[in-house]
Amino acid sequence: MRSGAMAWALDLYGFEVYVIQGGYKKYRGWVPQQFDRPYSIQILGGMTGSGKTRILQQLKVTDEQVIDLEDLAQHQGSSYGSMNKMVQPTQEQFENNLAEQLKNTDPQKKVWVEDESLTIGKRSIPNPFWQQMRNAAMIDIKVALQQRVNALAAEYGSLDKHFLMESTERIRKRLGPEQTKYAIEAIMEGRMRDFVKIVLVYYDKTYRTGLSKRNAAQVFPLELNGTDITTQARHLLNFTANTVIY
């Protein structure tokens, strides 16, 4: 009755309202069912700075089916992933939002998803869906190192230096004390390309480790040149259309 009364009041003020039959508890029982459904997933991989997210956004513009997990998780996946501004939803809300997007996809058509680890920041990809991601074929885009460095320096160069230094300190054990020191010095002196080159050594190694755990027969390398995102997305679609990917 409370839900009905609230729905009536909101409708009175012009809101479009839906009442869930069975309530939120039943809805939360529906959510995990969406992760168990089979999807025709196409993974887009590539080292940090390759422009995967921008390409996915462009694919969405061309009416391709895209699930942007980093957008749903409000995090870009690395130690710097909050970009000093994004606030992650609760795990429950993340799952609800993901289920809603999956509900609206056509399971018979390709669904583009960026390569991710199980966790994005503090949010976890539901295991049944993540397992589908791990078993799916991946397009591993190859972009020149200097292009990646330039892109990351431009993206992170405007961020607060204290945020960058704190984020770098969080990966000290994996980066090593000496490289951490050099990275922080580069941040303080505004040498963003030098900072990016240092931390990319760690992130590239992490990416290669993850790549080695995939079925090599399901990894399809694709070299992308230039910085025009429309051209890159078109090249990617042409590649998938003319390559037997399984």
Q: Domain residue spans in the chain? A: 1-36, 39-241
User: How many Å apart are CA 41 and CA 22, to the nearest integer?
Assistant: 31
Would you give the DSSP letter of residue 64? -
**What tens digit of pLDDT does each residue of 38-51 get?**
999 999 999 999 99
- Provide mean pLDDT across the span 135-158: 96
pLDDT at 244: 85
pLDDT > 80? residue 1: no
* Residues in Cβ contact with 57 at an 8 Å cutoff, skipping those fewer than 6 apart: 66, 68
Per-residue model confidence (pLDDT) at position 128: 98
Q: With cut-offs at 50, 70 and 90, classify the pLDDT of residue 95.
A: very high
pLDDT at 188: 97
Give tens-digit pLDDT for 147-181.
999 999 999 999 999 999 999 999 999 999 999 99
Supply the DSSP string of 86-155, one letter for each residue.
--PPPHHHHHHHHHHHHHTS-TTSEEEEE---SEETTEE--HHHHHHHHHS-EEEEE--HHHHHHHHHHH
Question: What's the pLDDT score for residue 245?
Answer: 82
What is the model's pLDDT at position 241? Answer: 94
| Per-residue pLDDT band at 141 (split at 50, 70, 90) | very high
DSSP β-bridge partners for residue 245: none
pLDDT mean over 206-234: 95
First to last CA, the chain: 51
Instruction: Round to whole Å and give the CA distance between 38 and 178.
Output: 46
Q: What is the rounded distance in angstroms from the CA atom of residue 231 to the CA atom of residue 184?
A: 36
At residue 246, does pLDDT exceed 80?
Answer: no
- Mean pLDDT over the full length of the chain: 96
Q: Which fold has domain 39-241?
A: Rossmann fold (3.40.50)
Q: How confident is the model at residue 3 (pLDDT cuts 50, 70, 90)?
A: confident
Decide if 65 contacts 106 (C-beta within 8 A). Answer: yes
> pLDDT at residue 67 above 90?
yes
Please say whether the beta carbons of 63 and 108 come within 8 A.
no
Under the banding of pLDDT at 50, 70 and 90, the label for residue 100 is very high
Note the pTM of the prediction, 2 decimals: 0.92
What is the model's pLDDT at position 125? Answer: 98
Q: Residue 13, SS3? A: coil
pLDDT of residue 21: 87
